């Protein structure tokens, strides 16, 4: 199987997998623009291993097998040096099988925390034990939440994240309602009308993009947002905007990628993209950091050869660069995670989750 030949070219091709359709499509402009900023910042210096990045964007909103087939065809050229992007875990698992550890694959969003990832798949996004679980514990301490209802899309990430929460709760029965719906669902009445929902103290939302926005509008329309807090690990400013400020009351979000207004990243993004660019969001920021982490790994290890990278990851790997995730323990990027409360169409960071 072809692998990337670091001696062949003065450029390195990176595949960026971002959904441009489906419920995740609302985040694509922000992610694509943020990745572009990261690429230009790196190319203005020494590139990756002395090579200029050449970016190819793939629509990750299609069925996982279709995305994986396209990635496989591009890998067959031997010119692809790495893969990154924001997309579902279902897509990631299909693509990782096709990649088969030939090139590094930096996954930029939160994941389900399963131990069976292939060599070379590096998790930039959060593990549920360091994001959803401590956020739920915070809500227990600060808001008195004991019983949970869960609504998720029907695939691997929501189901296993809910399982992580169940393991952490005092009793499995503390999840009083659990429902999974297809991606693209538009009517959540079956969940909202469920009598068991009234026994919950909070709702965990494990859906993607526009599905979350639609759910939040319907949740608010039936009057539940006044007394039932919601938690999600997968909401950015585009999701808040899509739902509308009135639908975001009592909504809490856990993330490692909230933007610090003091670090200048927003200003650099605005200069790079122009005043009419899509907003730089937490999801966009995660993809920006993934590209810089790729450069950091390459510079630190001296190669993108997966067995060599994997051996260094096993020892723990610190990297330099602008990312808040400053290294890896195993294949998991490490860095602080914070909890925020939605404030209209923005976030108010209220605590750090340790």
* Count of Cβ atoms closer than 10 Å to residue 244 Cβ: 14
The label of the residue with tokens 């072809």 reads: 2
pLDDT tens for 199-215 read 999 999 999 999 999 99
Q: Is the pLDDT of residue 327 over 90?
A: no
Torsion (CA) 62, 277, 290, 98 in degrees, nearest 10: 20
Q: Is the pLDDT of residue 354 over 80?
A: no
pLDDT value for 8: 58
What is the mean pLDDT of the segment spanning 90-117?
Answer: 97
Q: How confident is the model at residue 343 (pLDDT cuts 50, 70, 90)?
A: very high
Q: Is the pLDDT of residue 285 over 90?
A: yes
More confident residue, 107 or 323: 107
Name the region of 147 (left: φ>0; alpha: ψ -120 to 50; beta: rest). Answer: beta
CA neighbor of 100 nearest in space, from 123, 125, 75, 77? 75
pLDDT tens for 104-137 read 999 999 999 999 999 999 999 999 999 999 999 9
pLDDT value for 6: 57
pLDDT tens for 237-253 read 999 999 999 999 999 99
Instruction: State the first-to-last Cα distance of the chain, in angstroms, to the nearest integer.
Output: 42
- Token digits of residue 132: 């959803």
User: Architecture of domain 129-256+338-353 in CATH?
Assistant: 3-Layer(aba) Sandwich (3.40)
- Token digits of residue 54: 């050449």
CB 331 within 8 A of CB 122: yes
Q: Is the pLDDT of residue 274 over 60?
A: yes
What is the mean pLDDT of the segment spanning 92-115?
Answer: 97
pLDDT value for 321: 78
Q: How confident is the model at residue 326 (pLDDT cuts 50, 70, 90)?
A: confident
Name the region of 49 (left: φ>0; alpha: ψ -120 to 50; beta: rest). Answer: left
CA neighbor of 6 nearest in space, from 292, 309, 291, 288? 309
pLDDT tens for 164-195 read 999 999 999 999 999 999 999 999 999 999 99
pLDDT value for 17: 99
CATH of 11-126+261-335, one of 3.40.50.2300, 3.30.70.100, 2.60.120.10, 3.40.109.10: 3.40.50.2300
Domain boundaries, the chain: 11-126+261-335, 129-256+338-353
pLDDT value for 320: 83
Q: How confident is the model at residue 275 (pLDDT cuts 50, 70, 90)?
A: confident
pLDDT value for 193: 98
What is the mean pLDDT of the segment spanning 53-71?
Answer: 98
CB 67 within 8 A of CB 58: yes
What is the mean pLDDT of the segment spanning 275-291?
Answer: 95
Pairing between strand 317-318 and 337-343? unpaired
Q: Do domains 11-126+261-335 and 129-256+338-353 have the same CATH topology?
A: yes
- Token digits of residue 189: 């009445």
Mean pLDDT, rounded, of the chain:
95
pTM of the model: 0.95
* Count of Cβ atoms closer than 10 Å to residue 106 Cβ: 25
Q: How far apart are the C-alpha atoms of 111 and 125, rounded to whole Å?
A: 7
Q: How far apart are the C-alpha atoms of 124 and 84, rounded to whole Å?
A: 10
Q: How far apart are the C-alpha atoms of 162 and 133, rounded to whole Å?
A: 9
């Amino acid at each position: 199987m072809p692998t990337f030949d670091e001696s062949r070219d003065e450029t390195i091709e990176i595949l960026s997998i971002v959904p441009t359709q489906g419920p995740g499509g609302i985040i694509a402009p922000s992610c694509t623009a943020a990745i572009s900023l990261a690429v230009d910042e790196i190319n203005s210096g020494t590139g990756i291993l002395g090579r200029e990045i050449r970016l190819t964007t793939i629509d990750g909103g299609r069925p996982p097998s279709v995305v994986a087939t396209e990635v496989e065809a591009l890998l067959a050229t031997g010119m692809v040096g790495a893969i990154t992007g924001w997309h579902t875990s279902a897509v990631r698992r299909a693509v990782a099988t096709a990649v088969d550890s030939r090139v590094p694959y930096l996954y930029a969003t939160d994941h389900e925390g399963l131990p069976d990832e292939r060599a070379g798949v590096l998790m930039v996004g959060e593990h549920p034990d360091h994001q959803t679980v401590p956020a739920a514990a915070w809500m227990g301490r600060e808001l008195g939440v004991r019983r949970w209802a869960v609504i998720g899309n029907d695939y691997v990430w929501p189901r296993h994240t809910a399982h992580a929460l169940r393991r952490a709760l005092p009793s499995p029965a503390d999840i009083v309602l659990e429902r999974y719906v297809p991606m693209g669902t538009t009517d959540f009445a079956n969940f909202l009308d469920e009598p068991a929902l009234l026994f919950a103290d909070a709702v965990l939302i494990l859906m993607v993009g526009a599905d979350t926005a639609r759910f939040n509008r319907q949740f608010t329309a039936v009057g539940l947002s006044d007394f039932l807090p919601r938690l999600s690990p997968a909401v950015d400013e585009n999701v808040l905007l899509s739902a509308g400020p009135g639908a975001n009351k009592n909504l809490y979000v856990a993330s490692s990628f909230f933007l610090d207004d003091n670090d200048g990243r927003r200003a650099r993004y605005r200069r790079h993209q122009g005043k009419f660019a899509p907003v730089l969001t937490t999801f966009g920021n995660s993809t920006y950091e993934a590209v810089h982490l790729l450069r950091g790994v390459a510079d630190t290890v001296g190669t993108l050869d997966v067995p060599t990278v994997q051996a260094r990851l096993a020892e723990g790997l610190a990297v330099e660069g602008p990312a808040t995730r400053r290294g890896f323990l195993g294949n998991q990027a490490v860095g602080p995670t914070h909890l925020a409360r939605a404030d209209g169409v923005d976030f108010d960071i209220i605590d750090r989750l340790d």
